[in-house]
Structure 1
Amino acid sequence: MSSKIARGSLIMLIGYFIFRVGGYIYRFVTANLLGPAGFGILNLALPTQSILIQIASGGMPPAIAKHVSEYSAQGDEEMVKQVIHTSLKIVIVLGLFFSLIIFLLADPLAYGYFHKPEAALPLKLVALITPFSVVVGVFRGAFQGVFQMGNIVITKAFEQVFMISSAIILIWVGFQVAGAVTGTAIGFLFSALAGYYLYRRGLGKRLKDVKLSFTLKQELSLAKVLIIFALPVLITGLAETALFDAIGNFIVGRYLASEQLGFYGAATPVARLPLIISMSVATAVLPATAEAMGLKNRHVLKGYVNQSYRYVSLVVLPMCVGTFVFATPIMKLLYVNSAYMNGAAALQLLSIGMLFFTIYTVSSSIAQGLGKPYLPMVILIAGVILDVALSMYLVPLYGITGAAAATTITALFIMSTIVWKTLQVADVKLEYKDLGRIVLAAGIMGAVLLLIPQSLLISSATLSSSLSNSITFFSKYFVFLLVMILAATVYVVALILVGGLKKSDISAIRKLSNKTGPLKGKLEKIISFIERFAH
């Protein structure tokens, strides 16, 4: 069983990575193709799409996974099939209903709230996405319930490939923002088709001859059970989307021009990159914490909690410091249009906010492992209220920098609150000295990076645009690669000097290096050298 869980977690981590990277590529490509104004309008449609999908799915995928897994273990095939059929009916009804709602609200939102008539058509096109996305959610929940994690990854891959390629083609032929939104609908369509095919070939084939005998009353009772389980998931998901995607974009969209919204939308995906790290740690720490609680082993629990915070801080903190220092060159590197450098100040603040949010993410998983799933939900709801209030006040005064500041202050609030409550519930004290050494090492790295002229990095990215393609790629990224190597070297040396490198860190790095194939030998030499300085 443990090997099944480990394998499933690894596959899901790959799927999450594909989903995240695909989302980043989609945003970077559309930003460069549409320009700031067009990309700004797209950033009104995308959060609307995320909120609509979550509401329409009703938080069903985890509920389906839980009940399908439970009934499969009991050998009750009729209930497995009934859960899938009932869930499908629920999400189709919700999907069609909320698609109609957003279609009818598109004009009032575009003309009345955002004061941007050009946003009306993209907002209407969002309605196309929902029916396909909710069906995909049912299939993914069913696959998760029977540990067919590979099928989930396949549907995500279909979604990303067709979404990105369709959006690029439709923008190129002249459909602009409407084409970018339609591309997401095409991605979900092909994902749904892939999910249906995989279901029919696997779980559906197994359940083909199973007869359903539920009455309407029994099915309504089952629907109630599913919805009650799914409600906290839905509320938490909506709160996260609101905090880190919707609120900033919606309030910036109301008070500022489309170009400013485009600058803000260009900064947010860069700031979110550390979330890939925190989500991988969060995926592992939830079952580990739950296991330690089940065994009533306080020593092991303390180790899991402190290791989780430590590993996230070790990796994410220097990433955020580097992003803060080189925000302007990074924006120039990623976006062809130099106007996007106007989002650099927002990126600096958001990089700090995302550091807070990565720690919140890990704390949230620890709280769930401790049997307190409602704790993150309550804190997130309080965070949404705070973010709306701060954004409404700061955006009219400070523009997109105000929106970034509101998000960062809110992230600090939810991080501080959940860490405090989680440690209280777990009865664990943080190893503040170890975390302090990591902060000091990252600070030393940041101080060294400040000595590098930013004009050097900006000019390397600017110069490359006038050269041939092969030279462009080399010149544009070579200087950044050298700076990244320098930053990593300074950070490791600083960690050693301040006594922040542990033997357990070396052990974790060695385990990762053992999976690098032909690079294993060379990495082992480096690791063995560094190991002499660990304590």
Structure 2
Amino acid sequence: MAKRVTKGASYNATQTFVKGALILSMAGLIAKVLSAFFRVPLGNLIGDTGMGYYQAGYPIYTLFTAIAIVGIPSTIAKLVAEKRVLGEYQAAKDIFTHTMKLMLGIGIIVSLLIFLATPFMIDAFNWVPETKYSLWGLALSPFFVCIMGVFRGYFQGMQNMAPTAVSQVLENLGRVVIGLLLAFFFFPNLGKAAGGASFGAVAGGMCGAAVLALFYLRNKTSINDEIQRSETPKKQGIGFKTAAKMVLIIAIPISIGAAVNSIINFIDSALVIKMLTQTGVELELANAYFGQLGKVATFINFPLTFGMALVIGLVPAISEAAAKKDRTEVQTKIELGMRFAILLAMPASIGLAVLADPIMKFIYANAPDGGNILAAAALSILFIMLGQAFTGILQGIGKVWQPVIGIGLAAFVKTILNIILVTSSFKVIGAAIASIAAYMVFALYNYIMMKKYTGFKLNTRLVIIRPLISSSAMGVLAWGTYRVLGSVIDTNSFTSNALVTILSIGVGGLAYLVLIFVTGAITKKDIQEILNKKEK
């Protein structure tokens, strides 16, 4: 029998989830604005060639960033949330302290491996030798990423998203300031400039880890008081081996599941340059083409921030609902997660696709190539974000290995299609097409598994049809606005193109905000929940 909960309790649980997702989304938005501010001037400074150097090693950083943002935190958050529901506050704290020891050791080992394995990776993937500076610059980042991941998970398990949000912002601020300063310092040596920019990730990690440590010290007294107030039988803790085993059993699949975007990008790093050179493209030109993929990633990753926030909120929220055996709450959160993903991803995909060229010319004025790649790659956003949402749901109900299988299928599809398409007339656009197919497979597999284990019933009209109508109309209006204004204004100049592009985005964005209410994609009840107001 499912445990009965009151309507108010279920409502408050939904409130907590929505608030947490919104806090992390806002922090993620600020972080991605900072990240864009980093990549845009960097791309304009070092061009496609320098971005090729930078981008080659970047998936290694994003892999560990995914682990820090989702993998390790989601694991700890899940375990901590479950222990706290049972009143086992000492066990929850032990999971945190023992995992910190474990991850410190792992962080040191991985950082050393990246530094020592640099020559091997350059040779194996046919990267340009100057890529070594980027890899060296990133080498220390896993150490600080591991520290941040443990702190964030502990706070998220207590449904306190503020420390994660603040650390995300400061981490990216440190990365931008130090990374850009070093890039400008080493310019015009493109290899060293890319390496300096990469070291910004280490500087940002230091900032993020420091602020999280301060949050923990500030809350340490209240955490200990909570343990003391708990019932005596619940004060018993757990040892290092037990905690490490619990974390690793869950963390390994969760970390892999969280890193789908990094894994797909790493396949590009490993294959694109090699495949292009095999078709006769010169190494430096192949590196420049790969640099265009790196610029495209700036736009793709921006909306995915919200998808990551969604997963971060979903895992502990669904874990709590599952621990209480509340099927209704699980169903509600799944639908809420899907709606959140689609309402954000669908307009982003369509908007970037229809305005790809003008956006690229506006943002990367000194290196505007790659609009055709962006137009194709933009369509992957919807499948990435849905795949992330389904991953969070499956992890929340304990099916942590299912997303790993999904990633395996996606990686297989991506690898095969990369080999076929990149060596064809599609060239580097083939990599974008391969990514769309891979993410589609990932999202579809996760959805089938999620539906199998939860019995979820999809409200197609609310979740899919209404956002699709709103997003499609938005895309038509944005594209039409650019074409109409472009017929009377010469968009060949930077200023004119920037003006017309901004106006087109503004018209599309405003239209979408109106349409989601007109079509009922967002309801009055949704607004009341977000504002923490119950219906009268």
CA deviation map 1:496-515 (0-9, x unaligned): 9xxx813x734157559979
Counterpart of 1:384 in structure 2: which amino acid? A
Q: Secondary structure at the residue paired with 1:336?
A: coil
Offset, 1:181 = 1.0
Aligned mates of 1:160, 1:178 — CA distance in 2:
17
* CA apart distance, 1:408: 0.6
**In the alignment, which residue of structure 1 is the partner of 2:129?**
117
Contact 1:60 1:227 in 2 (8 A): no
Moved more, 47-56 or 406-415: 47-56
Q: CA deviation at 1:132?
A: 2.1
CA deviation after TM superposition for structure 1 residue 357, in Å:
2.0
Give the Cα–Cα distance (whole angstroms) in 2 for the partners of residues 390 and 458 of structure 1.
42
Where does residue 526 of structure 1 map in the other structure? none
Tell me what 2:493 maps to: 463
- Of residues 397-406 and 377-386 in structure 1, the stretch that sits farther from structure 2 once superposed is 377-386
Residue 5 of structure 2 is matched in structure 1 by: none
- In the superposition, relative to structure 1, how do residues 52 and 501 fare at CA in structure 2: closer, same or farther (>3 Å)? closer
Q: What number of residue pairs does the alignment pair up?
A: 491
Residue in 1 that maps onto 2:483: 453
* Contact kept? 1:56, 1:94, Cα under 8 Å: no
Q: 2:199 aligns with which of 171, 182, 186?
A: 182
Instruction: Show the counterpart of 1:42.
Output: 54
- Where do 1:426-505 residues align within 5 Å? 426-432=454-460, 435-436=464-465, 438-439=467-468, 442-447=471-476, 449-451=478-480, 452-453=482-483, 456=486, 463-464=493-494, 477-488=498-509, 501-502=519-520, 505=522
Query: What is the CA-CA distance between 1:46 and the residue it aligns to?
Result: 1.3
- Whether 2:436 is the aligned partner of 1:408: answer yes
Check the 8 A contact 1:110/1:118 in 2, yes or no. no
Query: 1:235–1:377: 8 Å Cα contact kept in structure 2?
Result: yes
Residue 415 of structure 2 is aligned to residue 394 of structure 1: no
Q: Deviations over 1:461-518 (max 9, x none)?
A: 6534xxxxxxx5xx5644233323443566688889xxx813x734157559979xxx
Of 22, 27, 30, the match for 1:15: 27
- Cα drift, residue 241 of structure 1: 1.9
Q: C-alpha distance in 2, partners of 1:290/1:192?
A: 27
Question: Residues of 1 paired with 2:488 and 2:183: CA distance?
Answer: 28
- Counterparts of 2:512 and 2:217 in 1: how far apart (Å)? 51
**Partner in structure 2 of residue 380 of structure 1:** 407
1:4-403 equivalence runs, <5 A: 7-52=19-64, 59-68=71-80, 79=91, 82-174=94-186, 175-203=192-220, 218-243=239-264, 245-256=265-276, 257-279=286-308, 287=317, 291=321, 294-297=325-328, 309-310=338-339, 312-337=341-366, 339-341=367-369, 343-368=370-395, 372-397=399-424, 398-403=426-431
Q: Deviations over 1:372-406 (max 9, x none)?
A: 34332321221112212221222222322010010
Paired residue type of 2:185: V
Q: 1:68 to 1:203 in 2, by over 3 A?
A: farther
Normalised by the size of structure 2, how large is the TM-score?
0.78
One-letter code of the match for 1:387? Answer: K
**Identity of paired residues, percent?**
23
| Offset from partner CA, 1:227-253 (integer Å, 9 cap, x none) | 22322212213444202x322233223
Higher relative contact order (CA 8 A, sep 6+): 2
Return the letter of the residue paired with 1:37.
T
TM-score, length basis structure 1 = 0.78
**Aligned mates of 2:309, 2:239 — CA distance in 1:** 39
SS at match of 2:140: helix
CA distance in 2, matches of 1:102, 1:317: 37
Aligned residue for 1:274, secondary structure, equals helix
Cα deviations by residue, 1:262-288 (Å, 9 ceiling, x for unpaired): 111111221333334545555666637
Q: Deviations over 1:6-62 (max 9, x none)?
A: 554443333333333333332223212221111111111211223356679994433
* CA shift digits 1:199-233 (9 cap, x unpaired): 3333279669x9xxxxxx95334322322232221
Contact 2:311 2:388 survives alignment (8 Å): yes
| DSSP 3-state at the match of 2:519 | coil
Distance in 1, matches of 2:125 and 2:54, equals 16
Task: Report if aligned partners of 1:333, 1:461 keep a CA contact under 8 Å in 2.
Answer: no
Partner Cα separation in structure 2 for residue 350 and residue 420 of structure 1: 24
**458 and 179 in structure 1: CA distance in 2 versus 1, 3 angstrom threshold:** farther
Q: Residues 455, 121 of structure 1: CA spacing in aligned structure 2 closer, same or farther, 3 A cutoff?
A: farther
Over aligned residue pairs, what C-alpha RMSD do you find?
3.9
Q: Which runs of 5+ in 1 are unaligned?
A: 211-216, 465-471, 516-535
* Residues 459 and 280 of structure 1, relative CA distance in 2, 3 Å threshold: farther
Query: What is the identity, as a one-letter code, of the residue corresponding to 2:168?
Result: K
Query: Quick one: distance in 2 between partners of 1:276 and 1:104?
Result: 31
Q: Which runs of 5+ in 2 are unaligned?
A: 1-11, 187-191, 228-237, 277-285
SS at 2:423 equivalent: helix
> Residue in 2 aligned with 1:529?
none
Distance 1:47 1:13, change over 3 A: same
1:178 Cα deviation (Å)?
1.3
1:319-371 CA-partner distances (Å, limit 9, x unpaired): 3222211110010111121x432x11211111111122223233334444555
